[in-house]
Chain A
Amino acid sequence: MMWSAARALAVRDLQLLWRRRGDSLQPALFALLVLVLFALALGNDREMLARVAPGALWVAVLLSGLLALDTLFRGDAEDGSLEQWLLAPVPLAWLVLVRVATHWATTALPLVLAMPVLAELMALPRSDWPVLFGSLLLGTPLLALLGAVVAALTVGMRRSGILVALLALPLYVPVLVFGAGSVTAAGQGFDPVGGLLLLAAGLVAALVLAPLAAAAAIRIALA
């Protein structure tokens, strides 16, 4: 039952994404745009570019995630799908987790996979790429899970664009600090493992707690 509901939800999300593939590319294009502008603005100073690269890459990924956040539950709230989630014989938190997982796989994962291109654009030394890749693989799901709680909290409001950003950013800051920090540390020859481990710990905690918190918030929003 759990798996068939999860599969039904994932298949639906992928079908919807395919039907609106123009919209679904927007967050990735936004991140690309930010980085291209960075590269153009600092273009003739490769060393400077390499120094700001970890921070800029992470900020671009984070902001593009924020851009996609409002769509996470809003459509489902407006057409009554969330009501049906609540009535389904599987836990709401499970459906939230599946929704966040497909959301991450379709908005953040393509960016992470495009990282070699973006890192090259930002003149990040090749030796730092594995750490960047690892930090994003741990950090972006964590951002998606934290964002899901915020999106669920604001799902009852009509226009919540900037409120979502205001609520999410304080939660995002530690992720940004440890994510970008570990890449910077690796670039300066320090051991980046500490930051990565903290991201991993945050991810494990969020995997367990965030769906429960988001489910509780959805219940309140629909009541």
Chain B
Amino acid sequence: MTGDGRGPADTPAMSPNPAAAAPLIAVRGLRFARNDQPVFGPLDFAVDAGEALLVQGDNGSGKTTLLKVLAGLLRADDGEVRLQGQPVVPALRARVVGYLGHLPAQKADLSALENLRFLCGLHGSRPGMSLEDAMATVGLAGYEDALARQMSAGQRKRLSLARLWLSPAPLWLMDEPYANLDLEGIELVNRMVQAHLREGGGAMVTTHGAYAAPPVRTRLLVLERPA
């Protein structure tokens, strides 16, 4: 679209709220290379509200890199990303994108609740939801005062999920959310994604296999290692 259409007469076709109609994230021609070695791309895809995009690929196919680029941790070489129909600026990205990465960002010497309180203070949290509720949601009720160093990898993953659950961001970028989790935990991730999508959110989920997928409207993006 060209021109910013200030007058109402210029934009007869636009709906009253363009953000509601536009996809949560739309990507065109996204490409990333590391030291002139292409990692992925060019990629074109979009995620609508109420929709999950399953990113599949072998190890080293660039799934994590793609999510890092979309989260703003890495800079793409080429391509266009739009969030809710608007070009990406840091403030918009911070509002729209919630990122669950490999690194838990938890301090071993702090308790589960203290870790969660810090991360929610940093990112802001959904109004009307308490930290304790979120911990109960991810099955960590009773572990509030446990130090992160005493928790298992799966429990720390659940704590990260609680942080994402509290985040007000509509688009979840989940990098290997199933890693380290038991069967019940995998079920938990699926339930969380399902509930998030029902509320009008969207999610991008990377997995290296099809063994687990949330029972929701899902699109598939398969990454292949560039030749």
Contact = CB atoms under 8 A, between A and B. Distances in A.
Interface of A: 1, 4-5, 7-9, 11-12, 15-16, 19-20, 75, 79-81, 83-90, 95, 222-223
A61 to B, nearest CB: 27
B137 interface: no
Given A12-B110, A19-B110, A223-B74, A88 B103 contact: no
Contacts of B74: 223
A87 B97 contact: yes
B105 A80 contact: yes
Given A84-B119, A86-B72, A12 B114 contact: yes
B109 A83 contact: no
Interface of B: 71-75, 91, 93-95, 97, 99, 101-110, 114, 117-124
Given A4-B121, A89-B91, A81 B105 contact: yes
Contacts of B118: 8-9, 11-12
Contacts of B91: 89
Interface of A is mostly: helix
A84 B122 contact: yes
Contact of A89 (B75, B94, B107, B109): B94
Contacts of B101: 80, 83
Given A19-B110, A75-B107, A89-B124, 16 more contacts: A4-B121, A5-B122, A9-B121, A11-B118, A15-B114, A16-B109, A20-B109, A80-B103, A80-B104, A80-B105, A83-B99, A84-B105, A84-B119, A84-B123, A87-B123, A222-B73
Which 7 residue pairs across A and B have the least CB separation, nearest first? A80-B103, A8-B121, A89-B94, A19-B109, A80-B105, A12-B118, A84-B105
Nearest to B92: A89
B73 A88 contact: no
B123 A83 contact: no
